[in-house]
Amino acid sequence: MDGISTVIRDPAVMDRQLAAVNQDARNLIQHGPVVVTVGILHSKRTIPQNNFFRGLCREIASYWNANNENKTSAEAVAEDLKGQYGVIVTEYSPVTGTRSARFKSTATYEQHEMTALLDATLAWAADHGIPLRDPREDHSR
């Protein structure tokens, strides 16, 4: 999509930034309709958070497979943990006229949602005697 985007963090410079957006929008509208969206910028989960979760799931699966007859995979562990501790969203369906629930994809999690999943995963593993090291803690002391 051709267009413009700006993030406004400081109210003191908002008027100047909006004037620039206004001029850019005027130039774009000559080529067709322009969509303007204003919203709160949320901090998306980070790649290190995602890698941390996937690493925990691999460690849990490895420990599980070494200590249990029924084997599992890191992906199955991830799905189970997201199913137990993940974010559920509800959506209205104009087709059925009802709301339905689904799990939010971790790819669209905000940082605080991913942090909650990581904390729940670490707590679950501790409750089940699965030794995991939390790299967020300083173990050098």
DSSP sequence for 55-122: HHHHHHHHHHHHH-SS---HHHHHHHHHHHHS-EEEEEETTTTEEEEEEPPGGG-BHHHHHHHHHHHH
Per-residue pLDDT of the chain (141 residues; tens, 9 = 90+): 466 666 677 777 778 777 777 777 777 777 777 676 666 666 888 999 999 999 999 999 999 999 999 999 999 999 999 999 999 888 888 888 888 888 889 988 999 999 999 999 999 999 999 998 766 565 454
